[in-house]
Amino acid sequence: MEYPSIRIKRTKEELQKYNMFSNIYRSKFRTIVFFTTPFFGLAQVFIYFFVSPSFLLLLLALFLISYPFMMLRAIKKSSDVSYESNNLADYEIKLTFKEDHILTEQGSDSSELRYIDFYSVYNRKQEIIIYITKQSGLYLSKSAYDEETVANILAVLHEKVPGLFK
C-alpha cells in the first residue's frame, strides 16, 4: 500500500466549514434543532396573531426564526477571528501517512498522531474530517488534492481505522 504525503495550507473558508460541521452538522440533535427552530418561530407568530397576542411570544418567535442566521454568523465570525489571531495563513502543515501513525510536520516541529488514538473519521462529499479527539481534528478538502491522493488517504484510513467512519 502506498502511504500518501500531503501539505495543508489553511484558508478561512476551510476553517469555517470545519467549524460549521463541528458545531452543527456533526450532532444529529443540533442539526435538527438548527433546521426546525424557524418553523417553531413561525408557529409562535401564528399563535401570536390568532390565539394569544403576547409580546413575549412575539420576541420568542423572532428569536427562533433568526436563530440559524445568528448561529451561522457567530460561527463565521469566530472562525475568522481565530484564523487571523493565530496567523493560520502563515502556516503549512505536512502530513505523512505511515504504517501506524500520521506524522505531522510544521516548520521544525513534528508529532505523531497514532491511528489507535483517533476518535472518528467523516468522509463527506467535499472533505475528509479526522477527529483526533472529541473536540479537535484535521480538515482535508478533497478539492485541494488529486483523486488518486484522496483515494490513497481513504484507503489508508479504511485499513487502519475501519470502525471509526461515520
Higher-confidence residue: 55 or 89? 55
Residue 57 domain-assigned? yes
In tens, the pLDDT along 107-153 reads 888 999 999 999 999 999 999 999 999 888 899 999 999 999 999 99
Higher-confidence residue: 1 or 52? 52
Mean pLDDT in residue range 27-38: 95
- Give residue 1's pLDDT: 66
- Give residue 52's pLDDT: 86
The domain boundary, picked from 69, 85, 101, lies at 85
Both 98 and 72 in a single domain?
no
Q: Band of the pLDDT at 88, cuts 50, 70, 90?
A: confident
User: Which residue range forms the structural domain that includes residue 55?
Assistant: 16-85
- Give residue 91's pLDDT: 82
- Give residue 30's pLDDT: 93
What average pLDDT does the chain have? 91
Mean pLDDT in residue range 68-90: 90
Q: Among all chains, which residue has been given the C-alpha cell 463527506?
A: 124
- Give residue 3's pLDDT: 84
Residue 114 domain-assigned? yes
- Give residue 78's pLDDT: 94
In tens, the pLDDT along 59-77 reads 999 999 999 999 999 999 9
- The enclosing domain of 141 has a CATH number of 2.30.29.30
Into how many domains does the chain fold? 2
CB 17 within 8 A of CB 124: no
CB 8 within 8 A of CB 140: yes
The domain boundary, picked from 29, 64, 85, lies at 85
The string of DSSP codes covering 73-131 is: HHHHHHHHHHHHHTTGGG-EEEEEE-SSEEEEEETTEEEEEEGGG--EEEE-SSEEEEE
Percent of the chain residues topping a pLDDT of 90: 68
Instruction: Please give the Cα distance from 136 to 104 (Å, whole number).
Output: 15
CB 23 within 8 A of CB 73: no
The number of beta carbons lying within 10 Å of the beta carbon of residue 27 is: 12
Residue 166 domain-assigned? no
Residue 37 domain-assigned? yes
**In terms of pTM, does the model score above 0.85?**
no
Helical pair 55-85 and 12-20, crossing angle rounded to 10 deg: 140
- Give residue 11's pLDDT: 87
Both 76 and 116 in a single domain?
no
